């Protein structure tokens, strides 16, 4: 396990279980956990697949319990997994935390290829707290448009004095955010990167400035990146070195890693590709030469 960073933002290169065990109990205001889903995704050559569903769930129960212990008494926990495993998470966590919302992150369908069944267009997220009488929920920071009031300008005549319906409301439990696409500026080279907008809603709602936010499966470090933007502190854990490098760059914690410059990989539409004498030469669109 290797830790880099500052007092406010730490990147831990290592195993989630080991990192979680090393943290003090009762020390974190918000945890967002987006583990491997046991559906055969390829994380940089490391294919995540457990020998059985039971083995996957037993591994999950270990870190789920550690997360519960690391949360402060007023803390909140958001956790994701594949739809088929979420019922097990739900039942496991029920006696340990209060599950306040069963959220659906719903997204556009263009990637769905299923022809013989109904393709998946959502991922579930559990929102839990340790104490339902004492937790942070900044509803006014996450308001969305309420169509009845804002678009249709309807008036509620049932009230003693007729009043225009509210034009804003707290979002319901179905959240529409596009998945991160190759052409989006936030895109990083990772198969399951979560959108900044999703983490913004979670972090704004369930933490305050200065709070500590932990993500035990950081991937591209979206959680830590948004935590920093919103003046929170963060601890991000990730097993794969290539993703740790993304985190160090995104959080501006390092310019180099083991002698390698940490620069965002240019995407195909950002480079002019010239091949002469069998040699490949790359230029950015503004004409800068890139050594390959």
Ligand X SMILES: C[S@@+](CC[C@H](N)C(=O)[O-])C[C@H]1O[C@@H](n2cnc3c(N)ncnc32)[C@H](O)[C@@H]1O
Using rule CB under 6 A, residue 186 touches ligand X: no
Rounded to a whole number of angstroms, the minimum distance from the CB of residue 44 to ligand X is: 7
Q: Does residue number 77 form part of the binding site for ligand X (CB under 6 A)?
A: no
Q: Does 193 bind ligand X (CB under 6 A)?
A: yes
190 binds ligand X (CB under 6 A): yes
Distance, CA of 16 to CA of 103 (rounded, Å)? 24
237 binds ligand X (CB under 6 A): yes
Which one of the spans 23-31, 139-147, 188-196, 269-277 is the region binding ligand X (CB under 6 A)?
188-196
Q: Does 234 bind ligand X (CB under 6 A)?
A: no
The answer to whether the CB of 55 falls within 8 A of the CB of 102 is no
Part in contact with ligand X (CB under 6 A); list of ranges 30-38, 117-125, 201-209, 249-257: 30-38
Query: Distance of CA 9 to CAs 14, 69, 129, 212, Å?
Result: 16, 21, 23, 9
Determine the interface stretch with ligand X among 68-76, 101-109, 169-177, 190-198 (rule: CB under 6 A). 190-198
CB of 110: closest distance to ligand X in angstroms?
20
Q: How far is the CB of 38 from ligand X (least distance, A)?
A: 11
Report how far Cα 224 is from the mean position of its chain's Cα atoms: 9
CA distance 35 to 27: 21
Q: Based on CB atoms, which residue is closest to ligand X, 36 or 149?
A: 36
Residues found in the chain: 292
194 binds ligand X (CB under 6 A): yes
Using alpha carbons only, what angle is made at residue 150 by residues 147 and 155, rounded to the nearest 5 degrees? Answer: 95
Does 15 bind ligand X (CB under 6 A)? Our answer is yes
| Span interacting with ligand X, options 1-9, 71-79, 150-158, 216-224, rule CB under 6 A | 216-224
**222 belongs to the binding site for ligand X (CB under 6 A):** yes
Out of 57, 125, 239, 248, point to the residue binding ligand X (CB under 6 A).
Answer: 239
Q: Which residue, 5 or 36, is less far from ligand X as judged by CB?
A: 36
Stretch that binds ligand X, among 97-105, 122-130, 140-148, 214-222 (CB under 6 A): 214-222
Q: How many residues bind ligand X (CB under 6 A)?
A: 20
Give residues 37-66 in contact with ligand X (rule: CB under 6 A): 43
Nearer to ligand X, 45 or 259 (CB): 45
Of 5, 26, 29, which is closest to residue 204 (Cα–Cα)?
A: 29
Residues that bind ligand X (CB under 6 A): 15-16, 34-36, 43, 190, 192-194, 217-220, 222, 237-240, 243
């Amino acid at each position: 396990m290797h830790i880099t960073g500052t007092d406010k933002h730490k990147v831990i290169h290592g195993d989630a279980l080991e990192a979680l065990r090393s943290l003090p109990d009762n020390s974190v205001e918000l945890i967002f956990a987006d583990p491997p889903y046991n559906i055969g995704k390829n994380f940089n050559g490391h294919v995540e697949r457990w020998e059985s569903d039971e083995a996957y769930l037993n591994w999950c129960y270990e870190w789920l319990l550690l997360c519960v212990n690391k949360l402060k008494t007023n803390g909140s926990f958001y956790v994701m997994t594949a739809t088929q495993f979420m019922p097990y998470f739900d039942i496991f966590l029920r006696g340990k935390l209060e599950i306040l919302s069963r959220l659906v992150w719903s997204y556009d369908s263009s990637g769905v290829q299923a022809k013989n069944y109904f393709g998946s267009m959502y991922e579930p997220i559990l929102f839990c707290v340790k104490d339902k009488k004492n937790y942070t929920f900044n509803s006014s920071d996450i308001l969305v448009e309420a169509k009845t009031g804002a678009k249709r300008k309807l008036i509620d005549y049932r009230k003693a004095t007729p009043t225009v319906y509210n034009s804003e409301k707290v979002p319901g439990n179905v959240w529409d955010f596009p998945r991160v696409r190759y052409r989006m500026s936030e895109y990083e080279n990772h198969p399951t990167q979560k959108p900044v907008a999703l983490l913004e809603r979670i972090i704004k709602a369930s933490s305050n400035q200065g709070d500590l936010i932990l993500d035990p499966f950081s991937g591209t470090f979206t959680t830590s990146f948004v935590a920093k933007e919103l003046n929170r502190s963060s601890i991000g854990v990730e097993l794969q070195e290539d993703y740790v490098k993304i985190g160090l760059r995104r959080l501006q914690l390092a310019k180099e890693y083991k002698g390698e410059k940490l620069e965002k990989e240019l995407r195909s539409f950002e480079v002019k590709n010239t091949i002469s004498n069998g040699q490949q030469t790359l230029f950015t669109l503004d004409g800068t030469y890139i050594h390959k």
